[in-house]
Structure 1
C-alpha cells in the first residue's frame, strides 16, 4: 500500500456570526452522559480519535488518573477499567463553543480531586477563561479571569501555560498569549497580572510554559516564547531572564536534582550550575524537538520526541537517554492499533507530549496529531504502543449523507478524508473513505448520490497542503472509488450535486471561482453560466447547492438572498426569487420523492419552504432560528418526510427538534446533558430508518440520535 502523507496545517474553523460566544457558564453541571432524554438516545458515531491531543497530565499521587487536552475537542479524563476517555465539558452548549479549545490544564499535585482548565479556541472569537473542578472534572466552577486564548492556534502543542505551586497550591500561574503572566494566590478565586514579568514573547504565542520546582520552594520558570526562559526564586515576585536560554523553547522539565531540561527548535539543552549544555541527539533528521519527560525514579532517564515532524515513513520519532542526555538511542517501536483505519505512520506524527507514568514503572504515554498512545515497557528493545481512543472523538465533519439504500452513513472529513460507516455506527471503520487501495484525499468536502440509483455517488476533495484537488465516482455505494479522468487545476471544489436520474451529470461550486459541471462522470468539465463565484474555502459549511429529487435536469442554488434555478442540467442558472433575506450561513435542500419542493434555512432569519421550484417561499411559523436541518424517512403509514432542526422554536427554546407535519408542530429530541455544542457543522437524517438523525461537528466527530 502506498504511503499517504500531507502537511499538517492549522485548522482555522472560526465563525464569528454563527454562534454567540459567552464568557459565563453555570457554576455546577452534571457530568456528561449518554442518557436518554425526550424519548431519544444520543451517542457518537465510532470513528476513533482523529484530532490533535496537545498534552497529557498524570497525577503523581493517584495511579491511572490521567487527563488530556485537545485543540478543538475539549478535555478528557482516563477511565482505566474501560480503557475509555471521559469527555469533561460536553455539557457546554453552542453559546460556549469557544471553550472547547484546550489552552491549558493543571493538576493540584497534592489533591487528586482538584483540576484546572484554561479554555478558549481562538483569540479572536471572544474571551477564554479558566475553570476549576474539585471532583476530577465532574462539575466545574468558572473563575474570575477572562482573557483571549487560542487552543487551536500556533504552538498549541507546547506547554504548559498553567501551573500550580506544589509548596502552596493556592498559588497558580497562567501564561497567556496576548496579555502576559497572571497569578492567583487564593486557588483561582481572584487573579492579578504580574507586572514585574519583563519577558517579551512572540505575539499570539506568548508565555507557553510554567514550571515549578518540586525541590526548592519559590523557584519557578516561565517560557516567554521567542524571548527566552525566565526564572524567579521568590514565587514570581521578581523575574530574570536566564542568559543563554533557548529563545524558542517548547517544553521544560526539572529532574530530581534540579537540572533543567529544555526542548526547542534547535535541539535539546540542559541547564545545571548556572551553565547551559547542548545535548541534542546526533545523526538525526531534524534538530527541532518538543515532547520531553524525565523518569521520576531515575533522573538520568530522559525521553524526547521530534517537534511537528510527520514524514510518512514508519521510522522512530522517540529518543531515549539513560545518562542524562550524554548519549541517545532512537527507539524502535511496534504498534498494537485499536483503531483499524489508522496507518502506522500516524504514530508520534507531530507528537505533542511524551510522559513517564509516575506510578507505573516503565509505562509511558504519548500524544500526537491523531490521539493518545501507551507503552507498558519503554525499556524494551522495541516497545509495544497501543492507541486507546474510545470516548475521544475529535474529527471535523464537512459532509454527511445517508442514502436510501446501502450504507447508513458516509462522511466527508477534514484532515482524515472521511468514512463509509456501513450499517454499524458503534464500530470503528476498517478504512478511510478511499479504502485500502483506492484514491485517498486529505479531505472530502462534499458527497452526493443519484436519487434514482443511490449506489451511484460522487465526492470532491483533495490535498489542501499541496493545493491539489479532484474528486471521484462510485458505483457501489461508496465502498470503492475511481478518480475523475480530469479536473481543472487550482480549483478547490466545495459542494457537489448529482442529477436525480443521470449519475454522469453533476455540478460543483468552487472556492472563489466559477461553478463547473460535467455530463460524462468527470471526464471533461465546462463552466456554468448564471451563477456567482463560489465562497472561499475550505472552511465553509454552507450547503447552497442541491438537485431536484425527481427531475434530473433541475438544480438549485442560493446566494445573497437570491435563489437560482437551472432546468437544463446545470448548464445555465437564472434567478427565480430575490425576496429572501441574505445570509452566509444557509442550507438549501430538496425533498425526497417530490419535484419542485425546496427548503432553505437562514440561521436567525428562519426556515422557508417552496412548492413551486423556488419561485415563491413561505416562512415556517414558529421557527426562530434554523441553524441546521435535514429530511429523513417518514414514520410508518405516512409519506411526509421527517423534518429535523437544530435551532430555536418559539416557546420551546434552543435544541434539536423533529416535526412530522412539515414544521407545523415540533418535538424536542435534545439531550440536555449533551446539547452537541461544539459548533455543529452539518445535519443529515436516515432515509432507511425512521427517527435516525446525524449531526457532524467542528471537533467532536459525529453524533447520532434515535428513538428508544
Structure 2
C-alpha cells in the first residue's frame, strides 16, 4: 500500500497489521517519503520497485529497489519527475514489470511520456516511438496526468521473451502537448511501434482520464473513464469491457442522469457470466440516501448493488470521498478492500446482502502533524495533537484512536496549533482551518473548558487573519491562563486576548521577518517568549523577545551570545522548562541556546553542527526541534531535554539529562522516518518524547 506523503506499507497477515517499509529513510530523503507507483515482480515475490518524489516541479524522482520485500532498499535516480502528492496520484499503476521478461520495466511519467528500463530499473530510456515530448512544469501550473497506466496483455510469466502486446493510457493534458489524438495506445511488438485504440468516447466534449485498467481471467480488459484526475475525481464516468475489438458499456454516471460522481477504484475476479466486479465511486461526500461508494456486480456487470455505504461499519464511521482504489482478494472473492482518504476498509462477506466492514488500519499512521503539546501532570489527558486534514485532537489513551475534537458545526479540516492553561489544563485553545465553503468561520478557532469534551468558537479573529481565508501552518497560539491567549499571526505579529478570543489587541512587537514562535512560561503566567526566526536561511538574523505582563508588551534580548541565524519556521523552536521559571531552550536550525533568566542572557552550546554539501544551505540542519520534559530520578537538572540535530556528525533524536553537557541518541538508522520534528516531551513519564515523522503521524519513545 502506497501513501501520498507517508511512505509505503506491507501487510503482515499473521499480525493483522501494517508494517512500514520506508521508516529507514533518513532526513535527506524526506522528499522521497511519498510513493507515486509501486511495482511487484510476478516471478519474484521478494522484489519490489517504488517510485518516489512528492511534487513534479521540485525535480526528478527516484526509483527505490528492494529484494527483500522492502526490509532494505537501494535506489536509482529517475530522469523524470514524479508527483506522489500531486493531483492524479491515485492513477495507475504507472510502473509495471514485464511478467515474461522481468528485467524489463515500463513507466508512464507525468511530463515526459513513456519510459523503459531493461536492467531492473537501474537505467531508463524514453520510448520515443510513442512520443518524445517533454513538458516543462513550473510551480503554480496544473500538474498533468501524463501517461496514466501500463498493462501487459498476457497471462504468461517467466517465458524469457518480452511481452509483445502492451496498452498505455494517455491523459488529455499530455495528449494535447504531444499531439496524440487517442486516450489509449497499443503496441503488438513490445513497444517498438504504437497504434491508437478507438473508444466510444473519442471526440466527445469531455476530456476523460483513465485511472485504472484491469485484465480479467478471460483476457478482457476493463477500463474506467472519468471526468477528473482525482483524488476524488468527478464525473461523468463510464465503465467499459473491451475484448480487443469491441466495447461493452457496463456502468455509467452522468450529472444529467444521476449523481455527479467519478469512477476510480476497479477490481475484477473470475471469468464469463460469473465475473465479479468491484467499482469504487469517488468524489461523493457526506451522508445521504443512496450515496454510492462501492458498487458490486456478480454477473459480469449486468446487475449492480451497493456493498459499502449504509452497511455495517466498525467503528460506525462515514465512508466517503476518495474511494480511489478497490481490490478483490484473488484467493477469496468475498474479501474486498477499498481505500478512503483516511485509510483502508475490508469486508469478508462481500456477497452478503449487508456486508460488514472493518477498518484495516492497525499500525498505519499517515498524517501531517503540525503541532504537539503536552499538558502538566495534573491533566486528565496525555497529548494535544494538531494535524493537517484531520484537525485537533485530545489524546487520553495512546493505544486507541482519540475521540475528543471539535465536532459538528465546529469541526476542523486542519489543526494548526494548540495549547492548554498550565494552571488549569481543562482549558484548551486551538486554531486551524475548515473547508473553503465555511466563509467567515474559516480560519477557525476554538476553546474548551472541559478537557476537550465540548468546544466553543472564538468570538473574533486577530487583525491579519482574514475571515474566509486560509491559515498558514506557521501560525501558533499559546495559553497563559484560562481565557488569556496570544496568537502569532503568520508573517505579522502576535495579538493577545483576555476573553477567549472575543476581542484582540496588538502586542508592541514589530512585524516579523518570518513568524513569531511563541512559548508560555509554565511557572509564571506573566512571562511569555517570542522568537522571530528571520524568514528562511537567507533571511534576516533571528530575534528573541520576552514579556513580563502576560504577552502584552515585549522586550528584545540584546545579549551578544545570542547569535541567531535566519531559518525556516520548521527549523526553529523554543522549549521552556516547565519545572523552573525563566529556563528556556532555543534552536535556530544550526545551534542550541540556553537561558536561565527568562531570555535576558544566553549560553550557546557548542554541540551541534549543520552538514554542508555543494549548496549554500545545509544538506542537513544541525538543530531543528527541541523539547523539555520530566527529569530522570536523581538528575542534577530539573528536566530531560530532547533535541533533533547533528551531534558528532550523526543526525538523530537525542536526550540530555545534565542540561546539555552530554547527549544520547535515542533513535537508530532503521527509524529515521524521513525526518523527525514537532517534539513534545511527557511531563509524567521520564524518557517519553512524542514526535512527528515526515508524513508518518505521531510516534513516541519510552
Measure, in 1, the Cα distance between the counterparts of 2:287 and 2:91: 22
Contact 2:284 2:292 in 1 (8 A): no
2:495 corresponds to 1:549: no
Measure, in 2, the Cα distance between the counterparts of 1:335 and 1:512: 47
Q: Secondary structure at the match of 1:477?
A: coil
Q: How far 1:387 moved relative to its partner?
A: 1.4
* Residue in structure 2 matching 1:240, options 174, 187, 195: 195
Measure, in 2, the Cα distance between the counterparts of 1:583 and 1:166: 49
Measure, in 2, the Cα distance between the counterparts of 1:398 and 1:694: 13
Q: Decide which moves more: 475-484 or 386-395.
A: 475-484
Measure, in 2, the Cα distance between the counterparts of 1:90 and 1:688: 28
Q: How far 1:276 moved relative to its partner?
A: 4.1
Measure, in 2, the Cα distance between the counterparts of 1:655 and 1:610: 24
Deviations 1:506-544 (A, max 9, x none): 110124455322111222222333231696xxxxxx871
The verdict on how the C-alpha distance between 1:250 and 1:140 changes in structure 2, with shifts beyond 3 A counting, is: same
2:203 corresponds to 1:207: no
Q: How far 1:210 moved relative to its partner?
A: 1.0
**Counterpart of 1:295?**
269
Measure, in 1, the Cα distance between the counterparts of 2:32 and 2:601: 41
**Counterpart of 2:548?**
567
Q: Secondary structure at the match of 1:114?
A: strand
**Counterpart of 1:518?**
497
1:75-86 mapped onto 2 (5 Å cutoff): 75-86=8-19
Instruction: Please report the RMSD computed on the Cα atoms of aligned residues, expressed in angstroms.
Output: 2.7
**Counterpart of 1:231?**
186
Q: How far 1:326 moved relative to its partner?
A: 4.8
Contact 1:218 1:234 in 2 (8 A): yes
Contact 2:579 2:638 in 1 (8 A): no
**Counterpart of 1:666?**
663
**Counterpart of 1:478?**
452
* Residue in structure 1 matching 2:476, options 486, 495, 507: 495
The verdict on how the C-alpha distance between 1:313 and 1:418 changes in structure 2, with shifts beyond 3 A counting, is: farther
Q: Secondary structure at the match of 2:502?
A: coil
Structure 1 unaligned segments of length 5 or more: list them.
1-67, 536-541
Q: Secondary structure at the match of 1:390?
A: coil
**Counterpart of 2:231?**
none
1:26-425 mapped onto 2 (5 Å cutoff): 68-143=1-76, 145-198=78-131, 203-215=143-155, 217-226=163-172, 227=175, 228-244=183-199, 247-263=208-224, 264-265=226-227, 266-270=236-240, 271-281=242-252, 284-298=258-272, 300-313=275-288, 315-331=291-307, 333=309, 337=313, 340=315, 344-345=317-318, 347-404=319-376, 405-406=378-379, 407-422=381-396, 424-425=397-398
Q: Secondary structure at the match of 2:115?
A: strand
Measure, in 2, the Cα distance between the counterparts of 1:204 and 1:616: 53
**Counterpart of 1:648?**
646
The verdict on how the C-alpha distance between 1:419 and 1:332 changes in structure 2, with shifts beyond 3 A counting, is: closer
Measure, in 1, the Cα distance between the counterparts of 2:132 and 2:284: 28
**Counterpart of 2:510?**
531
Q: Secondary structure at the match of 1:98?
A: helix
**Counterpart of 1:17?**
none
State the TM-score, normalized to the length of structure 1: 0.82
Measure, in 2, the Cα distance between the counterparts of 1:337 and 1:596: 51
Contact 2:96 2:151 in 1 (8 A): yes
Q: How far 1:348 moved relative to its partner?
A: 4.5
Higher RCO structure (Cα 8 Å, ≥6 apart): 1
Q: Decide which moves more: 254-263 or 579-588.
A: 254-263
Contact 1:515 1:533 in 2 (8 A): no
The verdict on how the C-alpha distance between 1:335 and 1:700 changes in structure 2, with shifts beyond 3 A counting, is: farther
Q: How far 1:287 moved relative to its partner?
A: 4.6
Deviations 1:636-658 (A, max 9, x none): 23452110111111x26111111
The verdict on how the C-alpha distance between 1:388 and 1:648 changes in structure 2, with shifts beyond 3 A counting, is: same
Q: Decide which moves more: 317-326 or 71-80.
A: 317-326
2:636 corresponds to 1:636: no
Measure, in 2, the Cα distance between the counterparts of 1:618 and 1:461: 35
Q: Secondary structure at the match of 2:633?
A: coil
Q: Secondary structure at the match of 1:95?
A: helix
2:413 corresponds to 1:442: yes
**Counterpart of 1:686?**
682
Measure, in 2, the Cα distance between the counterparts of 1:108 and 1:571: 63
Q: How far 1:447 moved relative to its partner?
A: 1.4
Q: Decide which moves more: 457-466 or 390-399.
A: 457-466
Measure, in 2, the Cα distance between the counterparts of 1:336 and 1:411: 29
Q: Decide which moves more: 544-553 or 662-671.
A: 544-553
Q: Secondary structure at the match of 1:581?
A: coil
Contact 2:655 2:665 in 1 (8 A): yes
Q: Secondary structure at the match of 1:70?
A: coil
Contact 2:150 2:166 in 1 (8 A): yes
Q: How far 1:438 moved relative to its partner?
A: 8.8
The verdict on how the C-alpha distance between 1:138 and 1:261 changes in structure 2, with shifts beyond 3 A counting, is: same
Q: How far 1:663 moved relative to its partner?
A: 0.9
Q: How far 1:684 moved relative to its partner?
A: 0.6
Q: How far 1:152 moved relative to its partner?
A: 0.9
Measure, in 2, the Cα distance between the counterparts of 1:87 and 1:296: 31
Q: How far 1:179 moved relative to its partner?
A: 2.6
Q: How far 1:141 moved relative to its partner?
A: 3.2
Measure, in 1, the Cα distance between the counterparts of 2:165 and 2:656: 62
2:554 corresponds to 1:583: no
**Counterpart of 1:426?**
399
Q: Secondary structure at the match of 2:28?
A: helix
Deviations 1:157-181 (A, max 9, x none): 1111111222322221111122321
Measure, in 2, the Cα distance between the counterparts of 1:96 and 1:273: 43
Measure, in 2, the Cα distance between the counterparts of 1:592 and 1:196: 66
Q: Secondary structure at the match of 1:694?
A: strand
Contact 2:296 2:305 in 1 (8 A): yes
Q: How far 1:551 moved relative to its partner?
A: 3.0
Q: How far 1:99 moved relative to its partner?
A: 2.1
Q: Secondary structure at the match of 1:358?
A: coil
Structure 2 unaligned segments of length 5 or more: list them.
136-141, 157-162, 176-182, 228-235, 535-541, 610-621
State the TM-score, normalized to the length of structure 2: 0.82
2:457 corresponds to 1:506: no
**Counterpart of 1:24?**
none
Contact 1:291 1:352 in 2 (8 A): yes
Contact 2:458 2:500 in 1 (8 A): yes
**Counterpart of 1:456?**
427
2:580 corresponds to 1:594: yes
